[in-house]
Amino acid sequence: MMKKRVISAVGAFLGVILLCSCAGGNEADAALKEFLIKTSAELTVSMGSLAGNEGYRWFAGGYGMPEALIRDIGENEYGAPNAAFIVSVPDETMRSLVGRVAGGPIDGDIYGFIASRVYMSIPSATNARVGVNELIATSVLSVSKSYVRTWDDTDTKYVLLFYDSYNSVTLFMNTGDGVVTAASSFIFLPEELYSAGDLLNRALFYMFNDLGILDLEINFTSEYISLK
């Protein structure tokens, strides 16, 4: 029932995107946007289901667990986001940042491990600056799933979905030959982080500033899509 709600609510608007883009000769771009938003919404629904499940709350519970917050997250529906921000980060951007920290270029598996940890830590770094309860709740509810990559674009993607209740962010990152992993979590945005672009800038600034990089420049592209 919930999955159908995702497909019908998000799919109706994505169909418009697909038709418009196809008319302009950009079917691949439209199909990628459809996949990113639909998948992000489905994973957000899954997180909401975890929060609303008493058995899962008991399994994940423990001393200091913000059960009231998790329960409140579970009382909302996430099949129909109001809007989406899609951010694309070229690989050379992260390679430059990692190289500056390491004092030189890093290639191969070591770079992959470092880059994935930096990308994965961005939502946590943002939630941690809002509060401990928010960090714990989002960590407990986070989900991930791997897919076969059927598009040529190899940029890392962030999809920030805006709801009337709690917002979510999903990271799409290449994790193997033709494989992309989507990792989703709820995110508590400070008021000044009103877009995914600001989220990315601020979170990376916090992390690299702590490592002594003060003149941080991040190259990325972003697009806002209204779903209402």
Which tens digit of pLDDT belongs to each residue from 101-142? 677 788 778 888 888 887 888 888 888 888 899 999 999 999
- Which residues are 168's β-sheet partners? 161, 186
On the question of pLDDT at 205 being above 50, the answer is yes
Give the C-alpha separation, 179 to 211, whole Å.
31
CA atoms of 166 and 145, how far apart (whole Å): 21
Query: How large is the average pLDDT for residues 186-215?
Result: 62
- For the chain, give every domain's residue range: 2-226
Distance from C-alpha of 17 to C-alpha of 132, rounded to nearest angstrom: 39
Q: Is 65 exposed, middle or buried (0-12, 13-18, 19+ CB in 10 A)?
A: middle
